Amino acid sequence: MDSPRRVMMGAIRAADAPRGVRKGTVRRVFRFSARHRPRLLLFLLFTVISSVLGVTSPLLSGRVVDAFVNHESVATVVWLAVAIAALAILTAGLGLAERSQSASIGEGLIYDLRRAVFEHVQRMPVAFFTRTRTGALVSRLNNDVVGAQRTFTSTLSGLVGNVIQLVLSLGVMMTLSWQVTALALVLLPVFVLPSRRQGRRMADLQREAAGLSASMTTQMTERFSAPGATLVKLFGHPEAEAEEFGGRADRVRAIGIRTAMAARWFMTGLQLVAALAQALVYGLGGYLVLTGELAPGTVVALALLLTRLYSPLTALANVRVDVMTALVSFERVFEVLDLAPAIAEKPDARPLPDGPVSVEFSGVHFGYPAADKVSLASLEEVAVLDRRGGHEILHGVSFTAEPGKMVALVGPSGAGKSTIASLVPRLYDVDSGAVRLSGVDVRDLSFAAIRGAVGVVTQDGHLFHDTIRANLAYARPDATDEELVAAMRGARLSTVLDSLPEGLDTVVGERGYRLSGGERQRLTIARILLAQPRVVILDEATAHLDSESEVAVQEALADALVGRTALVIAHRLSTIRAADLILVVEEGSVVERGTHDELLALGGRYADLYNTQFTPAA
């Protein structure tokens, strides 16, 4: 008989059973699994043979008993023993073969799904990531993918195997003795119904424990990151944090104890019912043997077949739950795959012409897309997506950055400067108008052409938890160590590199927090120097640096901008005095333009900003 624990887990899943899946999901599952079908058919064949052999074994055992009772020849007993041994060896071999196919199909399907989801998510626009909870997205790659895989392994094999085993066992038992079979089935409701009731209780406990575990994970993730730990050190209350965490952990502990005891009672009850059923079989079967209506071996065969009758009946009672749960996992994976990227590369996308690159904005109007255009409610973990958004942020922005020239964007926070900069590498698409590189609309360029031409340095200087070498080479994987060191030198990091014990192989930590802010920022500049883009965008690259670090970064930037078209966003107006063109942006519009001297002479908004920063307080 299957372990009572498996029966219990089926009952728990029944309590949380999904009600349905979208039309066409099953058909799509089989299309997705097309390359695994040969292995799947072989897997099902092994399952069928194993089920048939499972029914044969009790009959041989009963035949051995009859041979003993009837004092048959030694040869007969020996041959029966050999047959049972051969059957056991064959069953074991089939079990290994079945497991091999199951593992190949399951792991292959997990690989296919994870690869498909990862590649698809990589194509999603930045707007998708600004809304999606990372944990929810990672869950699709882990929990839901593994849940979907169960469709082709345990669920499918269980369905086929249990149906065959049930039909064969019931048929053979009815042939041997319909009276004993009918009596054995009387206890079936006592076997199945309590499992459903207990399953609901266990599901409630597991649901609560899952929620508490998720809360603890969130608390740990937020508090154990470098920014979170700093915030706790500065403003937090460690004792209160520990008390809050301990309260959740204590409740999980209590639920664990209660679940363990409930499971023990549940298993004990099921084992008792199974034992009672066997007692009934032996009682009625023994009576029929004594009255001469049955052979002793038949009773033994019936008792053994009983274990192969209750198991599939109980499993099939929950088969819809298992199938639906697995299909829902598939549906959740398909939900991500079906979310079309809001920004897509054209089939006939063009490369960018060689030579210096100009940047042109022509009557650009833009509004950030609403959530329902770029996200999923399930990934944001909300009931309904926020439909706000879509209102216009930029209003007819037009300007040109000539090849090799610097254009600076200044203005108050929220004016739209970073939004303008984000349209050049096509992190978003304009609603109307056009952004052009060397006269070519960025929507007509290939993604590779844009990535190769445009380099961005942001104010946070994001780095991966990896080595300096890996973070630099991310911009140019074929770079040599000499080129990496030259880029570090150009970013004024030679002294830092010499002081590191492992040099280029030094791990920078999560988001680069093992480096200082200035070092982190200069490392991102080194990455730009290595990539050698023809257009450089600096988005508040020195906003959060001290004076000494700012000087070092400015020197590195000076090298990075030589011969390149530059779009620079800066609050500190001292950093953009030498710009060839300065644009003053307010409320999504360019309200002034000119050189530093021209704008000061104009005495308008730029002059006000400049005087505010550089006029000494009275």
Q: Bridge partners of 395? A: none
Lowest mean pLDDT among 11-25, 583-597, 601-615: 11-25
Percent of the chain with pLDDT over 70: 80
Instruction: For residue 273, name the pLDDT band (cuts at 50, 70, 90).
Output: confident
Asked whether the whole model's pTM tops 0.85, one would answer: no
Which pLDDT does position 240 carry in this prediction?
79
| Cα dist from 72 to 65, 66, 68, 78, whole Å | 10, 8, 7, 11
Find tokens 């590369």 and name the residue.
345
Inter-residue contact 60 to 86 (CB < 8 Å): no
Count how many Cα atoms sit within 13 Å of the Cα of residue 159 in the half-sphere of its side chain. 14
pLDDT (mean) for 126-143: 75
Q: Bridge partners of 361? A: 399, 435
Which pLDDT does position 399 carry in this prediction?
95
**What would the pLDDT profile of 502-557 be if each residue is shown by its tens digit?**
888 888 877 777 787 778 888 888 888 888 889 999 887 665 555 666 676 677 77
The DSSP code for 11 is H
Q: Bridge partners of 454? A: 535
Backbone Cα Rg of the chain? 35
Residue 95: pLDDT over 80: yes
How far from the centroid of its chain's Cα atoms is residue 588's Cα? 36
Percent of the chain with pLDDT over 90: 16
Neighbour count for residue 71 (Cβ, 10 Å): 6
pLDDT (mean) for 105-113: 83
User: Backbone dihedral region of 592: left (phi > 0), alpha (psi from -120 to 50 degrees) or beta?
Assistant: beta
Average pLDDT, the chain: 80
CA dihedral 397, 399, 401, 402 (to 10 degrees): 150
Find tokens 């944090």 and name the residue.
241
**What would the pLDDT profile of 26-52 be if each residue is shown by its tens digit?**
777 878 778 888 888 888 888 888 888
The helix/strand/coil state of 291 is coil
Residue 597: pLDDT over 50: yes
**What would the pLDDT profile of 397-417 be if each residue is shown by its tens digit?**
999 999 989 999 998 888 899
Of the two residues 198 and 133, the one the predictor is more confident about is 133
Inter-residue contact 14 to 318 (CB < 8 Å): yes
CA-to-CA distance for 42 and 49, rounded, in angstroms?
A: 11
Which pLDDT does position 432 carry in this prediction?
94
How far from the centroid of its chain's Cα atoms is residue 316's Cα? 31
Which domains does the chain show, CATH number per domain?
4-338 (1.20.1560.10), 359-363+397-614 (3.40.50.300)
CA dihedral 57, 61, 66, 72 (to 10 degrees): 90
